Structure 1
Amino acid sequence: MSSPSGSRAIPPKKPVEHDFAASLAASFRASSPLAQEVLARDLAECSDEEDDVDGAGAGLEEGDSDCDDETPGPTLYRRPSGIAFGTTRPALSLGPGGLTDEPRLTRAEREQSRDAERSLLRDNHIIPPKHQHPPQQRQGPLASLYKRVFSTKVPRRVMDDEMPPPPQIVIRPSETEPLLGDRVQRVPTHEHLNHQWEAAVRAGQIKTTWQREAKTIAVYSRSLIVTFLLQYSLNVTSIFAVSRLGTRELGAVSLAAMTANITCYAPIQGLVTSLDTLCAQAYGSGHKTLVGLQLQRMTYFLFLLLVPIAVVWLNAEPILASMIEPESAKLAASYLRIIVLGTPGYAAFEGGKRFVQAQGLFHVTTYVLLVAAPLNVLLNWLFVWHFGWGFTGAPVAVAMTQSLLPVLLFLYVWRVDGSQAWGGFRRAALKNWGPMIRLALPGMIMVLAEWFAFEVLTLASGRLGVSFLAAQSVLVTVTATTFQIPFPLSIAGSTRMANLIGANLVDAAKTSARVTIVGGVLVGMFNLTLLASLRYKIPLLFSHDPEVIELVAQTLPVCAIMQLFDGMAAVSHGLLRGVGRQEFGGYANLVTYYLVALPISFGLGFGLDWKLTGLWIGVTVGLCLVSLVEYWFIWQSDWHQAAKDAEHRNASG
């Protein structure tokens, strides 16, 4: 789309109303008509504001890496997408899908793409190795074993059996190169590399190995795991700080956290998933300051929604008292009345993360959390124990930390990097909300539905008694913490798959998928072993009440078995994102949780009086079923068609 600076843009036609199912499915695609409509309206609106015209015309600054490279853009590299969700577990990420919504790559990222392509060409013996080594003598058995296990090169016997000789791009000597004498074998330039890469892909020459995919996915996921654990620690810390005060306090903080998740955090995180699409498309259009406009619009919208949420939280005690015993309801209501002060900061930070991620600055969130997470621990210790505020100190620390997060993010953008996408405060942010809301609501519905399916177990356990509610708090905290490992792994796997599918390397994508599945199983087995072996040690971290410890120890074996299926389900969701079919995962989750998992949980927990054990058996069965259904769907999917769809999206983008 051209810049509106040359002539006045024609306002777009009135949007056509879509039915709910179509709108929901469209929300999973970054190239949805709603996102394009928002962008068109913003460009038209900006033509009326002189300052915005200048910003739009200067969207690609001089020397900007988005346009200063004449070589064709890369097809392999994408950033490991995803965000830390902050509290418990949305089983399906509605964030970046890896195929469609990435903004343009910077010069450094294009170099990473070329390096990745060059490395694959070397491993497939198509271009010369990076270092020429003299012929070596026969290697010993240990050296051969080491090379077989860790080498990323494709074995020549596989190439000889499966592929014709690789196509070669002839690199002619330069005018200054001597015609006679020894010549050093040259590495292709960017232009020759692009030709060589395209020819090799067309000829089906590019293969990969499990060693390479394991290394790549490990590199992608390590920083994401740190980020997820850091952000989740903000919530775990308050539970740890309160847990030693008593059984009732431990149960109350779990109930308050559940209420906050359902009524505030889940809706906010669902709504801001629309920024994953809107900010990326605004940045990719070349009008970078439109990213800041999208952030402003969403932030104002979220602040308006916080008004009714605050009213509910300030009057939550009678509502909660109708569900559980009055003393726990009173403590939970006091927790909500305090943390309401931190909700504006939470909303601003969730939007701000998308603002920097659209620019490729995924590390910013990690830097902010590296400062905020230790400070949150200190504040909880000071307020709960050192100053003697008790239960009240925990929500005060949470509210202060949530308010600090957007401040730290702002300081980074202002003083370090990211301000180029901020065009100042605009009147246009108060307009054009309709398409944004229509794009955001399906994301909120999907995330909220998945959260509710898990969090409703906490509410159900509250009807069993104070000790059961406290034990449920421990179980939810433990299982949600362990989930912060397979979920980032699934994001890394989906990103890598999207890279390879986008490059039309279907066989390599399947290899990467198999590695991710094995990784998910290994992580699940690790978590299973950890919880099963420490079933009597883990509850001691939260409580010294013998009844709570016994209840947790009785239920942890079920939670341990759940870890295997939890890891498998997380990976299956990631693979669906990788092939661009995440809408199937959303519907599979909803059907499985509400028609299978929850009925089994309530039937066993209350009908057969298995209590907490029965509640968690239902969740375990649901995760097992949804992972099997999704793996079957992935197995039956046409990956070659997914590659064609990715090619069409890339071309249209």
Structure 2
Amino acid sequence: MISLMFVGHLGEFPLSAASMATSFLNASGTCVLMGMASALDTFCGQSYGAKKYDALGIHLQRGMLVLLLVTIAQSLIWANLTPILVALHQDHNIAQEAGVYARYMIPSLPANALLQCNIKFLQNQNIVLPMVLTTGISSLMHIFFCWVLVLKSGLGIKGAAIAICISSWISMMLLALYIKFSPSCKKTWTGFSWESLHNIPQFVRLALPSAVMVCLESWTFELMVILSGTFPNPKLQTSVSSICLSTSGMFWMIPFGIGAAASTRTSNELGAGSPEAAYLAVKVTLFMALTAGISEFSLLMLIRNIWGGAFTNVHEVVTYVASMIPIVATIAFVDSIQTVLSGVARGCGRQKLGAFVNLGSYYLVGVPLAVVFSIVLHMKVKGLWLGITLAVTVQAVCLLLMIACTNWEKEAEKAATRVQRPRVLASSEIVTTQLQNLHSES
């Protein structure tokens, strides 16, 4: 969002191009990596609860390997963004500039893949402060990089992409150094091991539905920006929709943090064989989500008339954004609830069911209604976001019913089975075992 704020002050066209690219890159890059890394919520969280500390480092390395392989395919897609957008009937000039932005963003992919795994590794050990400090440091540095590269160097949106790449690598390296040298990770990080090459299919089987669960939701939001580009005056429509998306994403970070805590506590308690404590964690975090949702709704309504000015000086865009804020505020409230419930689902290892909930909510309810409101009823961007509001509401209700019907004792038994599954010995351990057997026989 910081990058879009700087780019927005270059003009309406750069903002439209950067917004279009950002939506596509989030949908094909960040969302996929975040989703696949969410498998570590189950593996690391339940292993930590079961006190199998050395397993966390193995899960981390396995996740890094899988996600880095995924970034190869993502790089190829990003390098060809312009023809993809043109095929989706986007404005040719906007598509051309968005393609340039995407190519400069490619170096951020491996950094983001490793960063997401590091975050999950620490998160599931209840280690939060390093992530807060890292985010604060990288955000402050990112503001400086954007000021220099976007406004002072004349690089424009290229500078914004370069700034994001630099900030991503800084964040990843800071967390990696903490994991390597901090006493807090001494039990869970014991160095690289060949054992991480085993049981990759088991990881992928949970990572794929995790990615689907996250992507089905996120892709719908990004689709709103792409559809906005097909309306008359695409610069205005795309800019407004992107600002709404960035705003929604920023306010989503608070419930996302609560949802991460819900996932961690739920998985830890299930791994420790304490179903009652897991259910208590669900109730506490859900109350926190309600409080956060009410606060976010109130704040957005208070700043609705001035919020658009943070992104652009174009009066028409600022006015349009002000009319959209009540819808965005409603989404922020409902999204607070569903985000925490989604975290609980990940902590239980119920990503497949969560994926089906998201599929039905967004693609059987949200997208069809968004099309009807925006095109048939001629509500344009406002219609798109009304459809999203209804989708998030249905999603929250379905997840709430799923959690309410959960048998926590049974989930604790599943967690025990998952963490106690016999692990495959690494080749070095096999050799050591064989030598010990030969020595004992002699």
TM-score (normalised: structure 1): 0.57
Contact 1:290–1:423, Cα closer than 8 Å, also in 2: no
Correspondence for 2:91 among 302, 315, 325: 325
Contact 2:78–2:103, Cα closer than 8 Å, also in 1: yes
Please report the RMSD computed on the Cα atoms of aligned residues, expressed in angstroms: 3.2
Alignment of 1:552 onto 2:317: no
Residue 610 of structure 1 corresponds to: 379
Contact 2:209–2:351, Cα closer than 8 Å, also in 1: no
Alignment of 1:478 onto 2:244: no
What is the CA-CA distance between 1:649 and the residue it aligns to? 4.3
What is the CA-CA distance between 1:525 and the residue it aligns to? 2.8
CA offsets 1:141-160 (integer angstroms, 9 cap, x no match):
xxxxxxxxxxxxxxxxxxxx
Correspondence for 2:214 among 423, 447, 455: 447
Contact 2:42–2:347, Cα closer than 8 Å, also in 1: no
Contact 1:256–1:336, Cα closer than 8 Å, also in 2: yes
CA offsets 1:5-39 (integer angstroms, 9 cap, x no match):
xxxxxxxxxxxxxxxxxxxxxxxxxxxxxxxxxxx
CA change 1:634–1:481 in 2 (3 A) is same
CA offsets 1:83-118 (integer angstroms, 9 cap, x no match):
xxxxxxxxxxxxxxxxxxxxxxxxxxxxxxxxxxxx
Aligned pairs (5 A) from 1:453-532: 453-464=220-231, 465-492=234-261, 503=274, 505=276, 509=279, 516-532=285-301
CA change 1:349–1:490 in 2 (3 A) is closer
CA offsets 1:295-351 (integer angstroms, 9 cap, x no match):
334333333332232222222212222331112112211111111012111112222
Contact 2:41–2:264, Cα closer than 8 Å, also in 1: no
Correspondence for 1:631 among 377, 393, 400: 400
Contact 1:580–1:642, Cα closer than 8 Å, also in 2: no
Residue type at the aligned position of 2:225: T
Residue 71 of structure 2 corresponds to: 306
Contact 2:123–2:264, Cα closer than 8 Å, also in 1: no
The separation in 2 between residues aligned to 1:523 and 1:292, in whole angstroms, is: 33
Contact 1:267–1:447, Cα closer than 8 Å, also in 2: yes
Q: Give the gaps of 5 or more residues in structure 2.
A: 421-442
What is the CA-CA distance between 1:352 and the residue it aligns to? 2.4
Alignment of 1:246 onto 2:11: yes
The alignment partner of 1:484 has SS state of helix
Residue 425 of structure 2 corresponds to: none
Residue 202 of structure 2 corresponds to: 435
Alignment of 1:539 onto 2:311: no
Residue 127 of structure 1 corresponds to: none
- When the two structures are aligned, how many residues end up with a matched partner? 413
Residue type at the aligned position of 1:296: Q
The separation in 2 between residues aligned to 1:276 and 1:592, in whole angstroms, is: 23
Residue type at the aligned position of 2:325: L
Contact 1:251–1:471, Cα closer than 8 Å, also in 2: no
CA change 1:362–1:650 in 2 (3 A) is farther
The alignment partner of 1:463 has SS state of coil
Alignment of 1:367 onto 2:136: no
The separation in 1 between residues aligned to 2:22 and 2:42, in whole angstroms, is: 29
Residue type at the aligned position of 1:623: V
CA change 1:372–1:536 in 2 (3 A) is same
Correspondence for 1:589 among 358, 365, 368: 358
The alignment partner of 1:485 has SS state of helix
The alignment partner of 1:535 has SS state of coil
Residue 406 of structure 1 corresponds to: 172
The separation in 2 between residues aligned to 1:576 and 1:246, in whole angstroms, is: 42
The separation in 1 between residues aligned to 2:7 and 2:298, in whole angstroms, is: 28
What is the CA-CA distance between 1:549 and the residue it aligns to? 1.7
The separation in 1 between residues aligned to 2:241 and 2:41, in whole angstroms, is: 33
The alignment partner of 2:312 has SS state of coil
Q: Which has the higher helix share?
A: 2
Residue 330 of structure 2 corresponds to: 561
Tell which structure's C-alpha radius of gyration is larger. Answer: 1
What is the CA-CA distance between 1:634 and the residue it aligns to? 4.3
Aligned pairs (5 A) from 1:367-386: 367-386=133-152
Contact 2:334–2:392, Cα closer than 8 Å, also in 1: yes
The separation in 2 between residues aligned to 1:328 and 1:301, in whole angstroms, is: 33
The separation in 2 between residues aligned to 1:435 and 1:504, in whole angstroms, is: 24
CA change 1:359–1:371 in 2 (3 A) is same
Residue 219 of structure 1 corresponds to: none
Residue type at the aligned position of 1:396: I
Residue type at the aligned position of 1:448: C
CA change 1:416–1:645 in 2 (3 A) is closer
CA change 1:415–1:454 in 2 (3 A) is same
Correspondence for 2:120 among 354, 363, 384: 354
The separation in 1 between residues aligned to 2:78 and 2:298, in whole angstroms, is: 39
CA change 1:246–1:410 in 2 (3 A) is same
